[in-house]
């Protein structure tokens, strides 16, 4: 096991160095590096799946120690990290395959060798983050992951908005890291160990609360919890699509991994209100995230906001699990964690597919604006179909996997509703409403995405003339989109694996609710005495389809189908400008939620028409206010800047003597601190 794992790591490193060495030959390095990386990911997939099926205990994979105490690289794999590695492996395999075709777009425009090198190290760093069993190596890998993802976000640095996106990203992510460093130091000071292990007994409740907030903010920035989400909608559109897929698909989930690992395992989630905080933040992220996604016309930003929503749903499950765990209701805790992790897995699949699909659209049309698309379903039928699958899954519609995880989340909320005190009940019901609203708005959002981009008439030249993308790209998308259906019909496959984790933490197994994966109908997934079986529903649906299709064909056997133009009110010649636009599509919701979006519109006429009522040329600009940036981050940054500008002359006087004095004072202070510590302890 160890050797295989090390081999996988080596393959990634080889792929990275190979692409760096042969960086002049773009085709070759791209092909080889991606094939190597896909192979490594495939092996990782098999390895982690095997680990989850066979082994239950944690296995040490690699140990590199140094002479300096506490600085060592120890990699361990247990059920939780195996599960996250599984998600990573599926995603990175598909992304690598996709990249074989996708990067053609960028040959001789950017440095492919360096890109592939960074790409492989990025995957590697995420593997190391997930498997690190030592605070320092965790932190170092976390930082490497952040820095490399920054480099990848700004890779097309010739575009000014990318640098801005990168700047916001790196500031926010370092803010998070700062909180993590404080938390880790506090843990080390109080436990005297750098191991990531249960330290619940060694810490005082007071300290635990502080640590909880540090972890929440530290990981929350990476996860994109509202209001710490500001970097996400900038960074994802700036990065290339394969990188966005990796970032949204798995990188933001390393933060969820961190939350589970540090709050549940290390701190031992013993307080109810921790869960409540996470739950409420999750609900807010879910609703606001999708609300912002809905009005977005840049489809990559739309997907980025939708990631915030899904992180919200994952956090709802996680929060419920923590609440139940603190209340010693282990069955509820395990179902909630199951829901949370299952949704995480599903989100990896469909958001990966959607971002890759967005890459495919960009590859074919060279635009990121929904308003320039349209009619792609006829020109890119396979991409369209696969993205429709992924959209159905992310809108939580049966029979796709997204529905199942949302259903499980509803069921865990339902259990909290039946078995908790009054206050939590009301909260849980409000969360139910929030989740339902997020679900309906997600459907609206992805109807907009599919409907505007793929249906109707093309709205620009480039959409008119685009063609289907090459097979490796389709394969990459398909490897993520088709499992959405597969795991919707056979959720038992993955739920059994996740059950391992819940068994480990809560000592409760829900596998009695998972009845086999045989093809016989009516083998439902039973939670709370209510069972569903998407498989049987689908089979009955197909039978219905066959029956009714035959009947209808029989009744209408003498009819024929006529292809004719769409009704155009007699104007003659329907054109794409008469269609509903993406802006128009979301307008009703923009009006209803105007307190949230604060839309402003500008309308001005350029040319007089035949009468003052009919202008022949006009401009219409609608803008919405980014509330969090405007009312939280901008004032913060502004006052910080003002304070810095004012105070810099007090500190930075320009006199060398004063600077020497600073050093002197710092030394004296340290000596005094040391003396005080020595005398007290």
Partner 1 sequence: MQTFLDLLSVLILISAFILTATKRINSYIKAFQLQSFLLFLATFTLGIYNFTTKGFLDIFILSIIIFVLKVIYIPRLLHNTYNRVAYKVEKDFFINIPSSILICAALVILTYYSLYSLDGALNIHIKFNLVNSLSVVLIGLFFMISRKKAIGQIVGFLVLENGMFTTAMLSAQGMPIIVDLGILVDLLTAVMIMGMLVFKINESFDSINIERLRNLRG
Partner 2 sequence: MKLLLYVFMQLVLVLLLAPLVDGIIKKIKAFSQKRKGPPLTQMYFDLYKLMKKDTVVSETASWVFRTAPYITFISTLLAFMFFPATVILHSISFQGDIILAIYLLGIGRFFMVLAGLDTGSTFGGMGSSREVMIAALIEPALIVVLITLGLIAGSTSIYDIMLLNLQGNSFILNPYSILLFAAIFLILLAETARIPVDDPSTHLELTMIHEAMLLEYSGKHLALMELASVIKQLLFITILANFFLPTGWLGSQATPMLSFLLALITYFFKVVCIALLIAIAEISTVKLRFFSVPNLAAISFALAFLGFMQFIILGR
Residues 52 to 111 in contact with partner 1, rule: CB under 8 A: none
3-state SS class at 600: strand
Distances in whole angstroms, Cα of residue 457 to Cα of each of 244, 299, 577:
28, 18, 9
Query: Minimum Å distance from CB 453 to partner 2?
Result: 10
Task: Kindly indicate which of the ranges 24-32, 128-136, 412-420, 422-430 contains the residues binding partner 1, using the contact rule CB under 8 A.
Answer: 422-430
Judged by CB, which is closer to partner 1: 201, or 422?
422
Give the residue among 452, 443, 442, 447 at the shortest CA–CA distance from 288: 442
Q: Assess whether the previous peptide bond of 399 is cis (omega < 30° from 0).
A: yes
Which parts of 224-367 fold into alpha helices (H)? 232-238, 241-246, 252-259, 272-294, 299-326, 330-365
Interaction of residue 433 with partner 1, rule CB under 8 A: no
Distance CA 388, CA 386 (A): 5
Cβ atoms of 451 and 585 within 8 Å: the answer is: yes
| Choice from 185, 426, 542, 651 touching partner 1 (CB under 8 A) | 426
Closest CB to partner 2 among residues 129, 534: 534
Element (DSSP H or E) covering residue 404: helix 401-418
Kindly state the number of chain residues that form the binding site for partner 1, as judged by CB under 8 A: 3
CA 141 to chain centre: 19
The partner in contact with residue 396, picked from partner 1, partner 2, none with C-beta cut-offs of 5 to 8 angstroms by kind, is: partner 2
Residue 578's binding partner among partner 1, partner 2, none (Cβ under 5 to 8 angstroms by kind) is: partner 2
Which one, 41 or 285, has the nearer CB to partner 2? 285
Which C-beta is closer to partner 2: that of 181 or that of 385?
Answer: 385
Residues 6+ apart with CB under 8 A from 19: 29, 30, 32, 33, 112, 113, 114, 115, 116, 117, 120
Q: Residue 435: name its binding partner from partner 1, partner 2, none (Cβ under 5 to 8 Å by kind).
A: partner 2
Question: Which is nearest to 20 in space by CA: 7, 9, 36?
Answer: 36
Distance in angstroms (rounded) separating the CA atoms of residues 602 and 585 = 18
Among residue numbers 301 through 340, which ones bind partner 1 (CB under 8 A)?
A: none
Nearer to partner 2, 237 or 439 (CB): 439
C-alpha Rg value of the chain to the nearest Å? 27
Closest to partner 1 by CB, 426 vs 520, is: 426
CB atoms within 10 A of CB 570: 5
**Cα–Cα distance between 566 and 581 in angstroms, integer?**
17
Site string for partner 1, 381-420 (x = CB under 8 A): ----------------------------------------
Q: How many residues does the chain have?
A: 681
Q: How far is the CB of 346 from partner 2 (least distance, A)?
A: 15
Residue with tokens 């793929």: 454
Distance, CA of 211 to CA of 493 (rounded, Å): 36
Q: Which of 423, 531, 541, 635 binds partner 1 (CB under 8 A)?
A: 423
Give which of partner 2, partner 1, none residue 679 binds (C-beta under 5 to 8 Å, depending on kind).
none
- Which does residue 398 bind out of partner 1, partner 2, none, counting CB within 5 to 8 angstroms by kind? partner 2
Count CA atoms closer than 13 A to 599's CA, side-chain side: 18
Q: How far is the CB of 425 from partner 1 (least distance, A)?
A: 11
| Least Cβ distance, residue 431 to partner 2 (angstroms) | 10
Of residues 436 and 667, the one with the C-beta less far from partner 2: 436
CA distance 397 to 383: 20
> In the bound complex, what is the minimum distance in angstroms from residue 102's beta carbon to partner 2?
24
DSSP letter at 4 equals H
CB of 427 to partner 1, least distance (A): 10
Given partner 1, partner 2, none, residue 626, with its beta carbon under 5 to 8 Å by kind, binds none
How many other β-carbons are positioned within 10 Å of the β-carbon of residue 156? 16
Options 381-389, 421-429, 448-456, 475-483: segment touching partner 1 (CB under 8 A): 421-429
Smaller CB separation from partner 1, 108 or 595 = 595
Q: Which does 583 bind (CB under 5 to 8 A by kind): partner 2, partner 1, none?
A: none
Residue 426 or 676: the one with the smaller Cβ distance to partner 1 is 426
- The site map against partner 1 for 477-516 (x = CB under 8 A) is ----------------------------------------
Residue written as token pair 């009819």? 559
- The distance of closest approach from Cβ of residue 438 to partner 1 in the complex, given in angstroms and rounded to an integer, is 17
Find which of partner 2, partner 1, none residue 268 binds, CB within 5 to 8 Å per kind. none
Smallest distance from partner 2 to CB 319, Å: 18
Q: Where are the alpha helices (DSSP H) in 566-624?
A: 582-585, 587-592, 594-597
**Which element (helix H / strand E) includes 619?**
strand 617-623
Nearer to partner 1, 421 or 512 (CB): 421
How far apart are CB 414 and partner 2 at their closest, in Å?
Answer: 6
Written as one string, the DSSP assignment of 11-77 is: HHHHHHHHHHHTTT-HHHHHHHHHHHHHHHHHHHHHHHHHHHHH--S-EEEEEEE-SSTT-EEEEEE
Which residues, listed in sequence order, are joined to residue 62 by a DSSP beta bridge? 75
Binding site partner of 423, from partner 2, partner 1, none, Cβ cut-off 5-8 A by kind = partner 1
- Supply 320's token pair: 């419920």
Nearest to 139 by CA among 188, 189, 91: 188
Residue 524 interface partner, choices partner 2, partner 1, none, CB cut-off 5-8 Å depending on type: partner 2
Which of partner 2, partner 1, none interacts with 201 (beta carbon under 5 to 8 A by kind)? none
Is there binding between residue 440 and partner 1 (CB under 8 A)?
A: no
Nearest distance from C-beta of residue 70 to partner 2, angstroms: 49
C-beta of 105 vs 515, nearer to partner 2: 515
- Binding residues (CB under 8 A) for partner 1: these are 422-423, 426
């Amino acid at each position: 096991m160890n050797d295989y794992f090390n081999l996988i790591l080596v393959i990634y490193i080889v792929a990275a160095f190979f692409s760096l060495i042969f960086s002049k030959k773009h085709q070759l390095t791209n092909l080889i590096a991606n094939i190597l990386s896909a192979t490594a990911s495939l092996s990782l997939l098999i390895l982690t799946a095997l680990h989850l099926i066979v082994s239950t205990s944690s296995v040490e994979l690699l140990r590199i120690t140094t002479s300096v105490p506490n600085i060592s690289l120890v990699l361990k794999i247990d059920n939780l990290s195996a599960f996250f590695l599984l998600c990573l492996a599926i995603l990175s395999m598909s992304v690598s395959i996709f990249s074989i075709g996708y990067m053609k777009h960028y040959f001789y425009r950017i440095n492919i060798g360096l890109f592939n090198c960074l790409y492989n190290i990025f995957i590697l760093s995420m593997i190391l983050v997930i498997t690190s069993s030592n605070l320092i190596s965790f932190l170092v890998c976390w930082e490497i992951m952040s820095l490399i993802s920054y480099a990848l976000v700004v890779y097309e640095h010739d575009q000014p908005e990318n640098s801005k996106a990168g700047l916001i990203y790196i500031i926010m992510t370092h803010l998070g890291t700062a909180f993590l460093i404080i938390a880790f130091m506090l843990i080390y000071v109080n436990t005297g160990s750098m191991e990531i292990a249960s330290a619940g007994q060694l810490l005082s409740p007071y300290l635990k609360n502080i640590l909880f907030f540090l972890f929440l903010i530290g990981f929350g920035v990476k996860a994109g919890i509202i209001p710490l989400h500001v970097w996400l909608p900038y960074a994802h559109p700036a990065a290339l699509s394969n990188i966005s897929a990796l970032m949204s698909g798995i990188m933001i989930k390393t933060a969820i991994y961190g939350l589970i690992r540090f709050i549940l395992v290390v701190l031992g989630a013993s307080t109810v209100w921790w869960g409540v905080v996470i739950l409420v933040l999750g609900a807010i992220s879910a609703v606001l995230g999708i609300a912002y996604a809905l009005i977005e016309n840049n489809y990559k930003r739309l997907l980025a906001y939708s990631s915030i929503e899904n992180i919200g749903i994952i956090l709802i499950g996680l929060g419920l699990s923590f609440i139940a765990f603190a209340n010693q209701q282990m069955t509820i805790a395990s179902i909630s964690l199951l829901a949370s992790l299952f949704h995480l897995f599903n989100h990896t699949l469909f958001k990966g597919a959607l971002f890759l699909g967005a890459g495919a659209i960009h590859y074919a049309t060279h635009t990121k604006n929904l308003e320039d698309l349209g009619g792609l379903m006829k020109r890119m039928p396979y991409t369209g179909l696969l993205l429709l699958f992924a959209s159905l899954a992310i809108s939580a519609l049966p029979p796709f996997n997204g529905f199942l995880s949302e259903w499980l989340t509803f069921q865990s909320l339902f259990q909290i509703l039946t078995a908790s005190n009054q206050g939590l009940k009301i909260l849980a019901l409000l969360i139910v409403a929030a989740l339902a609203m997020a679900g309906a708005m997600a459907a609206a959002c992805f109807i907009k995405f599919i409907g505007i981009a793929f249906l109707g008439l093309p709205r620009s030249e480039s959409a008119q003339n685009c063609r289907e993308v090459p097979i490796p790209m389709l394969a990459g998308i398909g490897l993520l989109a088709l499992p959405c259906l597969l795991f919707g019909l056979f959720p038992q496959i993955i739920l059994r694996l996740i059950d391992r984790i819940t068994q480990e933490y809560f000592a409760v197994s829900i596998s009695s609710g998972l009845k086999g994966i045989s093809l016989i109908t009516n083998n439902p997934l039973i939670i709370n005495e209510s069972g569903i079986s998407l498989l049987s529903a689908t089979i009955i649906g197909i039978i219905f389809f066959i029956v009714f299709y035959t009947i209808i064909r029989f009744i209408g056997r003498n009819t024929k189908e006529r292809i004719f133009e769409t009704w155009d009110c007699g104007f003659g010649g329907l054109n794409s400008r008469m269609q509903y636009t993406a802006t128009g599509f979301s307008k009703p919701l923009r009006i209803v939620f105007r307190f949230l979006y604060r839309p402003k519109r500008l309308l001005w006429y350029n040319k007089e028409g035949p009468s003052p009522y009919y202008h022949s040329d006009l401009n219409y600009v609608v803008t919405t206010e980014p509330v969090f940036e405007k009312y939280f981050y901008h004032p913060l940054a502004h006052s910080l800047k003002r304070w810095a500008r004012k105070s810099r002359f007090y500190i930075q006087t320009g006199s060398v003597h004063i600077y020497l004095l600073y050093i002197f004072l710092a030394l004296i202070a340290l000596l005094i601190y040391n003396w005080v510590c020595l005398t007290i302890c």
